[in-house]
A and B are shown apart, each in its own frame.
Chain A
């Protein structure tokens, strides 16, 4: 993958077509657990699979547009920024996604780590 520098760590997780539309799926890699979402728009977004409030598994939340609602206490989370929406606060880690030849790859280095 030519656009990647050495610091990134891409992992193949699924075939794009096999991901269910508008519901999350759990991805495990070593000690990490992520939630991957294929939205109605076709976009794929990946976040950490735990709500900052009470560790709810976000892969099981109801997906609406680019938001997921935590199944435990209904916190609304922006899937692309990871930000918990008002009036609640907090954020979850987000991860970069790349699709090549129908395969979905996740960069396991979370975005915030790249930025710093």
Chain B
């Protein structure tokens, strides 16, 4: 047996590891692979850091290759170890910890560092870059103690960092040297629209400002600009660009300009040494985006594995801002110039702007704001240099098929072309997965290849690939938003079948409607259980094995496996006797943390599952349903009883509502509030249903949400009496119960159905009465689950007992 070649990779980032992934596929047994990384993490997806900062993802969620992956492929991984020397004579590399390893082939993928402006005071505490997990963690930690951040740099990264700070509850100023933001990716119109949008989210811009000095003693206190003005800051993030990490290559005598110079096969000036990603410079260009590194990696892997490959001839890049609620896309050349013509759509009313730049009948660039759904299709046309002679010009900005043939086909793409930029999945990988694994839906492609698992922007392309690969077998109906992988039906179809066929058990629904998995999955089982109960509240017997743990156990599971207990406290009002009881129980069971929830309730955190039923018995209070897809809390302000501004009895109204609807199952959690006057101390504007007292009546606001997707509720009705508040709430909640998709919050539901439609339903007296009638039935059968568990030995044994084996 011949000796394996030794492949050493310096840098454990996306570029190096992606290349290794390709090599493993092309030549699984050809190399002994060693990877060095300075950061103490396995390989992670740096472009998703903004999701971590925004609180939408956890660090673990963005890890691409876990430690097990390295182990499985026999790769020796050194994390937290930095290579400090390459000896090109002896063909060895040496690390800061003294490890020396020889190589036959060496890949340098050291990436780049955030560029730190050499300003006076840049070394002060609280001045950081935004580049790594550590930076991200530092920012999140700092947000706990500090209030005001300043981001230097109004580019992509700066704006994503600034948005992260807003999510962390900090005030943020963005300082930019130009007079428009993201000027390297956007034209003036789009830039201005973006600025307006971000300002409306609370971002403050200081444009045309050049920072002169960072103020403060040890820790940063503020910035001084060249025009003499100043701004306060507790934290300063520099996001002004990147510099390739090339020192190692320079010391080794490898040719370096701005980056490490590579040819079309990613070879450096020294034999057997290659460079890939942000540290490399190809045809004078260093790329700071993700797509090029995947394209380079694919070519490099073939070169190293000795497989024939086309040369890498540079990348046409595109940019997407990853800020929720703001859709911005740009690719190729987008500034009008000589010999260029543009097609534009500017819809100020909807906040949509689209521009396509054309030269010699070819699309060379595009800018999209507000609706970026055309982005990936346009990028293909740019990459393929599609000739648009004969295209209906205005149709270029519409989906193919809608109006003339303006699309370019996925058939024209090469197999190497990257479809999913977030996870680096190419057309070839997706197509062979579809063929080999018999995939038929986007959902399956996502689960099998991870394409479109992150930002989802490439879903339309994945769909096109399915259609292209499967040909006649492509089933359009399979592409709808089905309930889950187990079934090709949508919610409405399932509910209709339940009603028509009179189905009454979860298993029955699955076998009659042809589920692919006998016992479904964690997505469909809870949904069917809900729909069955909604359709037939009186007959249906709830299936606790189809409930998510929180609802099965009637307490919230915490990350360490303990639970939290929240007793019902109608309208957020309590009394000394109940408080004493709660305190006594908390003490007796050594509850480690007692806190007030966002919905004005007392939360007893850290309870062991074996203690739950005893605690409930001693509390002898109704369950607060803080864990359910159900009516949770009705928050109230003090109201006219005590408040000098209150115009109505908000506490009394809140208690009435909560008593009426407690325990009601809904498609997703429902939070409500009642405010005694328009000052709105109960925050009724961001609740699933918000009630606000006005002079002589009540306003009802629907679909508000204070969560990740902040949404202001819409006024759906104004009524006069307390009885009408209840009546309209009954109709509203019942309509949501009947038409909501399981898991869909009212904020999404109201947008899907339209505010006008919901106003119309509530205003229609006949419909309202019918809905109220069905609500009556639904409420009539509900029982308190804590009481039931306390009474039943079987429930206690089945759900809460822990077996102590001896």
Give the chain B neighbours of A109 by CB distance below 8 A: none
Known A27-B802, A62-B548; 19 more pairs at CB < 8 Å? A11-B806, A12-B805, A23-B545, A23-B552, A25-B798, A25-B801, A25-B802, A55-B559, A56-B561, A61-B522, A62-B526, A62-B546, A62-B547, A65-B518, A69-B522, A71-B549, A74-B522, A90-B68, A106-B805
Given contacts A26-B803, A106-B805, contact A64 B66 (CB under 8 A): no
Q: Does A23 contact B448, Cβ atoms closer than 8 Å?
A: no
Of the candidates B66, B450, B545, B553, the one having the most CB atoms from chain A within 10 angstroms of its own CB is B545
Q: Does A65 contact B517, Cβ atoms closer than 8 Å?
A: yes
Give the chain A neighbours of B609 by CB distance below 8 A: 26
From residue A12, how far is it (CB to closest CB) to chain B in Å?
7
Give Cα distance in the complex from A28 to B561, angstroms: 14
Give the chain A neighbours of B546 by CB distance below 8 A: 62
In A10-24, the 8 Å CB interface with B consists of 11-14, 18, 20-23
From residue B65, how far is it (CB to closest CB) to chain A in Å?
9
Give Cα distance in the complex from A53 to B388, angstroms: 49
Q: Does B448 contact A87, Cβ atoms closer than 8 Å?
A: yes
User: What are the nearest 3 A-B pairs in CB distance?
Assistant: A69-B522, A57-B561, A20-B798
Give the chain B neighbours of A89 by CB distance below 8 A: 66, 68-69
Q: Does A28 contact B804, Cβ atoms closer than 8 Å?
A: yes
Interface residues of B (CB under 8 A from A): 60, 66, 68-69, 446-450, 453, 517-522, 525-526, 544-549, 552-553, 557, 559-561, 609, 797-799, 801-806
Give Cα distance in the complex from A64 to B548, angstroms: 12
Give the chain A neighbours of B798 by CB distance below 8 A: 20, 23, 25
From residue A108, how far is it (CB to closest CB) to chain B in Å?
8
Complex partner residue of B805 from A28, A61, A74, CB under 8 angstroms: A28
The reply on A44 being an interface residue by CB < 8 A is no
Q: Does B802 contact A28, Cβ atoms closer than 8 Å?
A: yes
In the complex, residue of chain A having the shortest beta-carbon distance to the beta carbon of B520: A64
From residue A59, how far is it (CB to closest CB) to chain B in Å?
9
Q: Does A71 contact B545, Cβ atoms closer than 8 Å?
A: no
In the complex, residue of chain B having the shortest beta-carbon distance to the beta carbon of A32: B805
In A59-106, the 8 Å CB interface with B consists of 60-65, 67, 69, 71-72, 74, 76, 86-87, 89-90, 106
Of the candidates B519, B547, B799, B805, the one having the most CB atoms from chain A within 10 angstroms of its own CB is B805
Of the candidates B66, B518, B561, B609, the one having the most CB atoms from chain A within 10 angstroms of its own CB is B561
Interface residues of A (CB under 8 A from B): 11-14, 18, 20-23, 25-29, 36, 40, 53-57, 60-65, 67, 69, 71-72, 74, 76, 86-87, 89-90, 106
Complex partner residue of A18 from B552, B559, B797, B806, CB under 8 angstroms: B797
Q: Does B517 contact A23, Cβ atoms closer than 8 Å?
A: no
Give Cα distance in the complex from A46 to B69, angstroms: 25
Q: Can you sample 14 A-B contacts with CB below 8 Å?
A: A18-B797, A22-B519, A23-B798, A26-B802, A27-B803, A28-B805, A60-B549, A60-B557, A63-B545, A71-B557, A76-B521, A87-B446, A89-B66, A90-B68
Q: Does B557 contact A62, Cβ atoms closer than 8 Å?
A: no
Give the chain A neighbours of B547 by CB distance below 8 A: 62
Give Cα distance in the complex from A28 to B494, angstroms: 41
Give the chain B neighbours of A28 by CB distance below 8 A: 802-805
Give Cα distance in the complex from A54 to B803, angstroms: 23
From residue A89, how far is it (CB to closest CB) to chain B in Å?
6
From residue A42, how far is it (CB to closest CB) to chain B in Å?
14
Q: Does A64 contact B797, Cβ atoms closer than 8 Å?
A: no
Q: Does B557 contact A90, Cβ atoms closer than 8 Å?
A: no
Give the chain B neighbours of A18 by CB distance below 8 A: 797
Of the candidates B522, B548, B559, B609, the one having the most CB atoms from chain A within 10 angstroms of its own CB is B522
Give the chain A neighbours of B545 by CB distance below 8 A: 21-23, 62-63
Q: Does A25 contact B803, Cβ atoms closer than 8 Å?
A: yes
Complex partner residue of A29 from B69, B446, B805, CB under 8 angstroms: B805
Q: Does A86 contact B447, Cβ atoms closer than 8 Å?
A: yes
Give Cα distance in the complex from A87 to B449, angstroms: 7
Give the chain B neighbours of A22 by CB distance below 8 A: 519, 545
Give Cα distance in the complex from A11 to B66, angstroms: 34
Give the chain B neighbours of A54 by CB distance below 8 A: 60, 559
Give the chain A neighbours of B799 by CB distance below 8 A: 20, 23
Of the candidates A11, A57, A76, the one having the most CB atoms from chain B within 10 angstroms of its own CB is A57
Give the chain B neighbours of A20 by CB distance below 8 A: 798-799
Given contacts A28-B805, A57-B561, A87-B448, contact A62 B544 (CB under 8 A): no
Q: Does B548 contact A71, Cβ atoms closer than 8 Å?
A: yes
Given contacts A20-B798, A90-B68, contact A64 B525 (CB under 8 A): yes
In the complex, residue of chain B having the shortest beta-carbon distance to the beta carbon of A108: B805
Give the chain A neighbours of B69 by CB distance below 8 A: 89
Give Cα distance in the complex from A74 to B517, angstroms: 17
Complex partner residue of B453 from A12, A14, A21, A87, CB under 8 angstroms: A87
From residue A48, how far is it (CB to closest CB) to chain B in Å?
13
Give the chain B neighbours of A56 by CB distance below 8 A: 559, 561
